[in-house]
Every structure is written in C-alpha cells, then in structure tokens.
Amino acid sequence: MDLNDTPEQAAYRAEVRAWLEQNASHAPATRGRGDEEQAVAAHRAWQRRLAEAGYVGVTWPAEHGGQGKGPLQQVVINQEIARAGVPGILDAIGVGMLGPTIIAHGTDEQKQRYLAPMLHGDEVWCQLFSEPAAGSDLAGIQTRARRDADGSWRLSGQKVWTTNAQFAAYGLLLARTDPDAHKHKGLTMFIVPMDAEGVTIRPLRQISGEPEFNEVFFDDVKLEPGSEVGAVNGGWGVALTTLMFERLTIGAGSEGMGYRADRFARAIASDPVAAKDPEVRARFGELATELLALRFTGYRLLTAISRGQIPGPEAGMGKITAVNGAIAAGDLIADVLGPEALDPESEWSYLISFLPGLKSAGGTEEILRNTVGERVLGLPPEPRLDKGIPFSELRAKERQEVAS
C-alpha cells in the first residue's frame, strides 16, 4: 500500500502546484456574499484561466479540448486546488458530467458547437433531470416534448433542484417523448438554450436562506431540429451515462467536501472544557471514526479508478457516511458552542442548514440503500407496480388511487 504519487504523478502535482501558486492571486473568494453577477464573472474568468493552462476537463479527449489524461490526474488537480484554498471551476456539473455525456452520445456537430465554450466557462450548463414529482423515481418525469412536422420540438413542463440555472447558457434536459411507451422507453435527452422564449427560472431558497437551486418552467418552448442527444426515445440510456459520471465526480471529489475529522476537531478543541468532556469525546470519537473511514474508503475508490474501473453503486455508501457524519459533527459543535454556532455569520450555521437537504441530493439515503441492496448484495427488488404498463396508463392509475 502506498498513498504516495508515482514519479509521473508527483511531477504532475508539482506542475499544478507551481501554477496555482503563481495564479492564486487571480482566484475569486471561495465563498462570499454580495453581488452574484460580479462573483459569477470572477469565477468564470478563473475557470477560463484554468482551462487555458490545461487544467479543466483533463479527462476529456484532446480532440475536444481536453488533455486525454486519467481520472487520477483530475484528483491531483482537485487536491491541489483544495490545498491552495482557491475555488474549483464554475461549471463542475457541465465539465464533470454533462460534457462527458455529450462526448459519449452527441453528434459531431453538437461536440463542435458546445464543448469548447463549456470547457472555458464561456457557456455554463445545468442539469434538467429532476421534477417536482420525479426525483428518486427519475423515469417518472412528465415534462413533455412533442415533435412538429418540420422536426422541431415543443417543450412543456417543470424541472427543479437546478443548480446554476440562473446563469446557465444551456441545459441538458430529459423529457417524455412517447407517453404510450413504458416508463423508461419513451424518454429523450435534449439540449435546451436557457434564454429561449418560454423558459422561466425562479430561485429556490434553502433552509440557510440562500438560493442554492432553481426551479425552471418550460412553457411551449421551441427546440430546433437536432436538439436531441442520442436517439429519440433512447434518453434513459443517456441519463444513465450522466449518472455514471456523477458517481465518478463524487468518487474523485470525496475528499473535497470538507467534512474532515481534523477540521471539526479544531472547532471542539478550541474549548478546553469540551476537549476533556467524556460525552463530547465519545460523540466526537464516533463521528471521527466515520469520517476517517470515509477518507480511506475514498482512497480505495481512487485506487480502483486509477486502474480504469468505474465506481459501482457501492460508491453511494460514501455519501451516506459523509452526510450523516457531518450532521453529527454539526450537531456536536452546536452543543459545544451553544447558540453562537447558529449565528448566520458562524462557519457552522451554513453547514448545519445545508446538510438536511444534502441527505436527499444525488440520491436519497433510502434509494441509495435500495440500489446497493439489490445491485451489490443481490437482494430481490421490491415488487414494482409500474412494470410493463404504458406511462400514460400508469399516471391515470395513480390519479385514480389518490382520488379514491
């Protein structure tokens, strides 16, 4: 076992570190209040600077502006960015998940048009998958796309939990194109210009008071012919590709979430009484065990990634450990510091407010456990009442049941 870099990785790390040292003065503040437009502009410029140095989309093939490197080089960049205390790129969702999906399923035209501006942060992207009535059961989405005679599309519906929608140029959107097909069969993936007529974006404020997400409404939005990514009615397979890259992004970034035992230890140790209190020590030791396990499970995951393996559903367990460990930490710190910890200006207030929502983000704990139970342990699935029924009938049946 060896957590050290290979000579090749060490050389790459040194290069990235030296570049960051020279350029860190151009980085915007990691988190701040104030004017969002200015903050986005500064962050965009930072992504462009990183991209021009070859540190954005390093795993993308060279023909699309990437470096054709492995996921471990991406991890080295993430680690060095965290170490330098500067923010990562503005459009991590686009570069990490949506761009790779377009590379895998898009047409040559789409790749030519969209990938370079995405990489440089000139056009930010958002992910338009979840809906108010379809989260855990993503294939139950109802946003409708209808094809006109000229091959263009008309889009109507609502998406939710959309990060970055307020300044995104494009969105990757999953819509239902054949309601008479079975649930997973009648879906198609689209590229949607966020400035199109009929698109309405509203911020969704979270517990902290900050708008982390948006809801996006589509009212008869016209999409040009050729807006679809992958085959018409083949959207579920495209969505699975995006979710696979999401796991890879989470796996490669598990260290970067900031939920580290040593960070929480400093907060508790700042109170000398707390540091000697048996109850505080017992609670802290338990949660530190979880967070240390998270970190070293992450290294096992990175080892697998560096060998070219794609993380399986078991990677989702790390999210459960991270969220619950961090919730326990926030709770303990609030118990130690008292009401002051909940002051909006406190380092901990935001963390405490943010975590309840994170429990559901990127797969609820319950759905992750179902997936791991079935796909890793091989336990039988729960009976599904939606199998083999056209989606339109399924919806009618659901409405009938609620009414009765």
Partner 1 sequence: MNFDLSDEQVLLREAARDAFSRVRTVEAAREALEGGELPDLWPTARQAGWTGLLLDEEHGGAGLGAIDAILVAAEAGRVLASVPLLGHLPATAIANSAGGPGSAGGLDDGTLAKLASGELRAAYLPARPGDDLDPAWTVEPRSGRRRAPAPRVVRGDEGLATVNGSVAWVPDAVGADVLVVVGVEADGSPVAVAIGASADGVSIEPASGVYDATRSLGHVTLEDACGRVLAADEEELRRAWFLAHALIAAESLGAVEECLERSVAYAKERYTFGRAIGSYQAIKHALTEVLRRQENTRSLLYYAGWAYDDKPDEFAAAASAARAAGGAALDFAARELISVHGGIGATWEHDAPLFFRRAQLSRRLLGGTGDAVDRLAGELLSGSAAVA
Smallest gap from residue 374 Cβ to partner 1 (A): 8
Q: How many CB atoms lie within 10 A of CB 345?
A: 7
Residue 227, token pair as written in the block: 């807006």
Residue 200, token pair as written in the block: 């309405």
**Contact in structure between 145 and 187 (CB atoms under 8 Å):** no
Q: What φ, ψ does residue 224 adopt, rounded to 5°?
A: -65, 155
Residue 129, token pair as written in the block: 């998958």
Smallest gap from residue 334 Cβ to partner 1 (A): 17
CA distances from 5 to 8, 10, 73, 75, 85 (A): 8, 5, 11, 12, 21
How many Å apart are CA 176 and CA 143, to the nearest integer?
6
Closer residue to partner 1 in complex, CB, 110/370: 370
Smallest gap from residue 211 Cβ to partner 1 (A): 33
Residues near 129 by beta carbon (within 8 Å), at least 6 away in sequence: 138, 141, 159, 173, 174, 239, 242
Closer residue to partner 1 in complex, CB, 222/281: 281
Closer residue to partner 1 in complex, CB, 238/336: 336
- Residues in contact with partner 1 by CB under 8 A are 1-5, 9, 72, 75, 261-262, 265, 268-269, 275-276, 278, 280-282, 284-286, 288-290, 292-294, 296-297, 299-300, 302-304, 306, 314, 317, 320-321, 366, 369-370, 372-374, 376-383
Closer residue to partner 1 in complex, CB, 137/366: 366
| 395: helix, strand or coil | helix
Place of tokens 């929608």: 165
Q: How many CB atoms lie within 10 A of CB 362?
A: 17
Smallest gap from residue 340 Cβ to partner 1 (A): 20
| 45: helix, strand or coil | helix
* 203: β partners: 214
Closer residue to partner 1 in complex, CB, 47/254: 254
Smallest gap from residue 107 Cβ to partner 1 (A): 36
- Residue 228: enclosing H or E segment and its boundaries? strand 228-229
How many Å apart are CA 12 and CA 55, to the nearest integer?
11
Closer residue to partner 1 in complex, CB, 195/382: 382
**Per-residue b or e along 191-217, where b marks 16 or more CB atoms closer than 10 Å to that residue's CB:** bbbbeeeebebeeeeeeeeeebbbbbb
Residues near 336 by beta carbon (within 8 Å), at least 6 away in sequence: 267, 268, 271, 274, 280
How many Å apart are CA 33 and CA 20, to the nearest integer?
24
Closer residue to partner 1 in complex, CB, 120/319: 319
Place of tokens 């949607």: 192
Considering 131, 215, 246, 290, which one is annotated as catalytic?
246
Closer residue to partner 1 in complex, CB, 230/253: 253
Residue 198's region, left for phi above 0, alpha for psi from -120 to 50, else beta, is left
Smallest gap from residue 82 Cβ to partner 1 (A): 12
246 is catalytic: yes
**Which residues are annotated as catalytic?**
246
